[in-house]
Amino acid sequence: MPAAPAIATPAIRAENVCRHYRMGETLIRAVDGVSLEVRSGEFVALLGASGSGKSSVLNLLAGLDRPTAGSVVVQGRDLARLSREELAHYRLHTVGMVFQSFNLIPSMTVAENVELPLRFAEVNRAERDGMTGAALARVGLQSRVNHRPSELSGGEQQRVALARALINRPQLLLADEPTGNLDSRTGTEIMNMVREFNLQLGMTVVMVTHERALAERYAERLIHLADGKLVRNEGNVPAAADPLSTASEGSRA
Amino acid sequence: MKLTDLTELALRNLRESILRNSLTTVGISVGVASLVAMLSLGIGLQQLASRRLMKSGLFDTIVVTSRREPRNFGHDEDRNAPAPADSRLLDEPSRLELDRLPNVIEANPDIRFATELRYDDKPHLTTVAALPESSKSTDAFESIQGHFFTSDTAPEAILQKSFAAELLGRPHAPGADETNVAELAAPLLGKDLIMSYAQREAPQNGSAATAAVTHGNSSSAANMDPAASYSVVSRQQKLKIVGVVDLDPESMRGPTRGRVFVPLKLAESLHVMQPTDLRELSSSSGDQTLYSSVSVRVKDPAQIRATEDAIKKMGFNTFSILDATRSLQQFFAVLDLFLGIFGSLALAVASIGIVNTLVMAILERRREIGIMKAIGASDVDVKKLFFAEAGAMGILGGFVGVALGWAIGHVINLGTNIYLKRQSLPPEHFWSVPWWLVGAAILFSLVVSLVAGLYPAARAARLDPVQALRYE
Ligand SMILES: Nc1ncnc2c1ncn2[C@@H]1O[C@H](COP(=O)(O)OP(=O)(O)OP(=O)(O)O)[C@@H](O)[C@H]1O
Ligand SMILES: [Mg+2]
């Protein structure tokens, strides 16, 4: 192994990662010895049945959770060695997250939700306004800045979440079933945007899904989990070879 | 996070659940209000008391006596011993010197003598005391019937209530103290008194060897140094009654009570023979007026000790009620402390409201905290946000509370003055909210709120984002 030089430095390398929960006498192995590598700029899908540990793996990559064993190294940094404060900094600047349930703050307007990470990053107001405008333009929501999330459709809410995820220009986009709550047409719109970020902004994407079809359409690699273990790791040629020109045009209409 | 962002987010979060946060803030306001009300009452009462005491002349007066004057009559054997080297006579030049001391407003001789007054052709023996013009402002004359002397030389008299009763032939029964001063004054004001007194006269040339001492004590007369003699002449002075007072103003200043008061300059011009005259015969030059004591009024009672020391250095004995002020201050310090503790108690109860509100907010905003952490908020950011909310409630409650406390105090003051008016007593201002109290109350409210925010903020910061985001 040391003889083989890496073609590209991996963006993510997880080695024998475990996340065990102790519930009284029983030990729940949510993640049980997963090793995986994700190249910089790669689009990877995490597949598996419900309860197989997909979200748990994603949270470990996001630095929201710490593994009970093993290591997660993202861009040369071992997350296990980072302090709580450093982990927050990592989440703020390196990672963008999107969730199935959008996770927007209901009391804030669209613009306020999008600019929230900039407040944590202590970006001053004038700069913030410009960046928020640009991010919302990228997801085609310039006209809804002052609306509350509850006034938007599911697809629109997920677009707000996408704008928020990319506002701090992270290298890593972690998406947990981003289309799970959307109909297939809206889901496709969202997926096309994710793919656009992947190709145009060079963001590394790790997406959790249990829809094999969706994964095969967009991801370059499919990683299958079962009972917290990695069971299959297969390469894939995305079906949507160049969906950008058509699909993303449509999503902005 | 920046302070501006923190404040902005905190205020918007407070607005989100406006009812609950308003109620919590009202709780803090009531706490601050009670603190302000209690303390300003304490401060106001203290100011009222010191104002009253200053007016009484109790604390701004030093009584100066000569060291030759034996103050303690138990030390009879010392009486004829040589006076200390630095002892001085309390004469007019000394009085002028006292008058010129820094921090001294005026130095007035205490003139007091026993004499016979005729009213309605009936003689009455009593003590007459002289009053300087400045006495007019003491509270003894606040409720005078009639008026104060028209001038410092006017042949006028002010009677003490009990003497007025005596003149009218009303027996002074114990417990009959409730006699109305106005009732006593009505028949007396404007009437004349004839005062008989012994005048001390400088010796005439040639007749120096013999002195005619009309009312004197014969043994003193026998010991007289012929060279320093003077004559005593019996005289009469007509005095018009201009006022009757309830309080005895002299009780505040000197050891002897006067029952009839005359203007100081008038008393001086009469050259009434006083006990000192006889006692000082052996050493006095004879033509000098000597005072038994001089009352010195100071500008700043806080520096009464320095002034007393200066007077002692001049070679006189002094007497003041300095220590009384100190124990009074002690009393008010304790009073303020207790009032402050009671006031703070309400604020402490209100701070429990803050803890409760913020803990509720954490439960309610669990998911929101999880989201913020997922998108990059650090523990410190979350902690600061909750602190900012607690602080904002504290400052807001502080401002409203100070206003409320001020208003409550005003109403109490107003109500009390209406009551005082009904009792035909003069209004009093016993309510005071100094600026430092406003600032301190708001600051205290902020500090208490932040302390109350400590636990909720720490709890919010520790929240596990994975758990918070797990369920809808
Ligand atoms: N805090 C916890 N305590 C105990 N067990 C937990 C905890 N969190 C997760 N688990 C368990 O870990 C396993 C993996 O959960 P995870 O959420 O990663 O699954 P998932 O693959 O994302 O499922 P889904 O597709 O339903 O989202 C589950 O069996 C779950 O019950
Ligand atoms: Mg999941």
pLDDT at A96: 95
Q: Is residue A178 a part of any domain in this protein?
A: yes
Once rounded to an integer, what is the mean pLDDT over residues A116-122? Answer: 95
Question: Is residue B82 included in any domain, yes or no?
Answer: no
By C-alpha distance, which of B456, B286, B334, B470 is closest to B385?
Answer: B456
Instruction: Give the total number of structural domains in chain B.
Output: 2
Binary contact (A120, B374; C-beta < 8 A): no
Domain membership of residue A101 as a residue range: 40-63+83-252
Mean pLDDT by 10 residues, chain B (472 residues): 90 88 89 86 79 69 76 43 60 86 85 84 86 76 82 87 82 57 83 84 50 42 49 83 72 58 86 62 54 82 80 84 68 83 82 85 89 95 93 92 89 87 79 86 90 91 92 62
Alpha-helical (H) ranges within B225-376 are: 250-253, 264-270, 275-279, 304-314, 322-364, 366-374
In this predicted model, what pLDDT tens digit does every residue of B336-391 receive, in sequence order? 888 888 878 888 888 888 888 888 888 888 999 999 999 999 999 999 999 999 99
Structure tokens at B432: 């005071």
Of B1, B13, B465, the CB nearest to A120: B1
- Do B139 and B44 fall into the same domain? no
Kind and range of the H or E run holding A46: strand A43-48
Question: What pLDDT score does B179 carry?
Answer: 62
Indicate the residue of A59, A91, A125 with minimum beta-carbon distance to B376: A91
Q: Is B204 in the same domain as B141?
A: yes
In this structure, are B447 and B380 located in the same domain? yes
Q: Which chain A residue has its CA at the smallest distance from B379's CA? A: A85
B262 and B347: one domain? no
Chain B nearest CA to A90, separation (Å): 7
**pLDDT at position A2, please?**
47
Q: Is the pLDDT of residue A40 over 70?
A: yes
Substitution target from B368, B375, B382 for chain A, most A beta carbons within 10 A: B375
Distance CA A219, CA A45 (A): 6
pLDDT score of A1 more than 70: no
As for ligand 1, residues whose beta carbon falls within 6 Å of it are: A 21, 23, 28, 30, 48, 50-56, 210
Query: Residue B39: CA atoms inside 13 Å, Cβ hemisphere, count?
Result: 23
Q: Is the same domain home to B132 and B260?
A: yes
Whether B22 and B156 share a structural domain: no
Same structural domain, B117 and B189? yes
DSSP β-ladder status, B231-245 and B156-160: parallel
Contact B374 A122 (CB under 8 A): no
Q: Considering the entire predicted model, what is its pTM?
A: 0.68
3-state secondary structure of A70: strand
Q: Is residue A12 part of a domain?
A: no
Does any domain span residue A219?
A: yes
Q: What's the pLDDT tens digit per position in A135-175?
A: 999 999 989 899 999 999 999 999 999 999 999 999 999 99
Compute and round to an integer the Cα radius of gyration of chain A. 18
Cα angle B106, B99, B200 (rounded to 5 degrees) comes to 90
- Whether B142 has its CB under 8 Å from any CB of chain A: the answer is no
Look at the alpha carbons of B260, B263, B264, B265 in this order and tell me if their dihedral is positive or negative: negative
The preferred substitution site among A32, A47, A50, A56 for testing ligand 1, maximizing ligand atoms within 8 Å of CB, is: A56
Predicted local distance difference test score (pLDDT) of residue A252: 41
Which of A60, A83, A91, A208 best tests the B interface by mutation, with the highest count of B CBs <10 A? A91
pLDDT, one tens digit per residue, over A54-107 is: 999 999 999 999 999 999 999 989 998 999 999 999 999 999 999 999 999 999
pLDDT tens figures, B152-172:
888 999 888 878 888 888 765
Find where tokens 């105090």 sit. Answer: B409
What CATH number is associated with residue A186?
A: 3.40.50.300
Indicate whether A87 belongs to any domain.
yes
Q: Considering the domain boundaries, does residue A29 fall inside one?
A: no
In chain A, % of residues over pLDDT 90: 81
Could you give the strand order of the β-sheet that contains A204-208, starting from the edge strand earlier in sequence? Answer: A95-99, A172-176, A204-208, A43-48, A221-226, A229-235
| Statement to judge: residues B158 and B249 lie in one domain | yes
Residue nearest to atom 29 of ligand 1 (CA): A51
Chain A positions with Cβ closer than 8 Å to B: 59, 62, 64-65, 84-85, 88-89, 91-93, 95, 97, 99, 101, 103-105, 107-108, 116-117, 119-122, 125, 164-165, 168
B435 and B364 together in one domain: yes
Q: Does residue A20 form part of some domain?
A: no
- In this structure, is residue A22 part of a structural domain? no
* Ligand 1 atom closest to residue A53's alpha carbon, by position in its atom list: 18
Q: Give the C-alpha separation, A12 to A31, whole Å.
A: 17
| B94 within domain boundaries | no
Range of the domain at B182: 111-270+279-287
Instruction: Say what the ipTM of the complex is.
Output: 0.90
- B358 in a domain, yes or no? yes
What is the rounded distance in angstroms from the CA atom of residue A33 to the CA atom of residue A19? 8
d(CA A9, CA A181): 35
Dump strand ranges (E) for B20-111.
61-66, 104-109
Q: Does any domain span residue B59?
A: no
Average pLDDT value for residue range A231-245: 73
Number of domains observed in the structure of chain A? 1
In a domain, A16, yes or no: no
